[in-house]
């Protein structure tokens, strides 16, 4: 999934209802750097 947003505070919702249980990683990238977050779906 790729989404362009304007600068400032932003919130993006992900529909995780049909996602198979497991461990997933979300990568966030901005002009200032990148961050990876772990999401666990049970």
pTM: 0.61
Residues 21 and 29: their CA atoms lie apart, in Å, by: 25
Residue 9: give the domain boundaries.
Answer: 1-42
pLDDT digits (tens, 9 = 90+) for 29-41: 888 889 999 999 9
Domain count, the chain: 1
The full DSSP string for 1-42 is ------SS--------TTPPSEEEEEEEEETTEEEEEEEEE-
> Strand 22-30 to strand 33-41: parallel, antiparallel, or no bridges (unpaired)?
antiparallel
Which pLDDT band, with edges at 50, 70 and 90, does 4 fall under?
confident
State mean pLDDT over 15-41: 91
| pLDDT confidence of residue 10 | 76
Percent share of the chain, pLDDT over 70: 95
Q: Roughly how many angstroms between the first and final C-alpha of the chain, as a whole number?
A: 21
């Amino acid at each position: 999934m790729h989404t362009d947003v304007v600068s400032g505070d932003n919130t993006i919702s992900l529909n995780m209802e049909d996602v198979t249980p497991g461990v997933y990683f979300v990568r966030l990238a901005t002009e200032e750097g990148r961050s990876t977050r772990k999401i666990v779906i049970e």
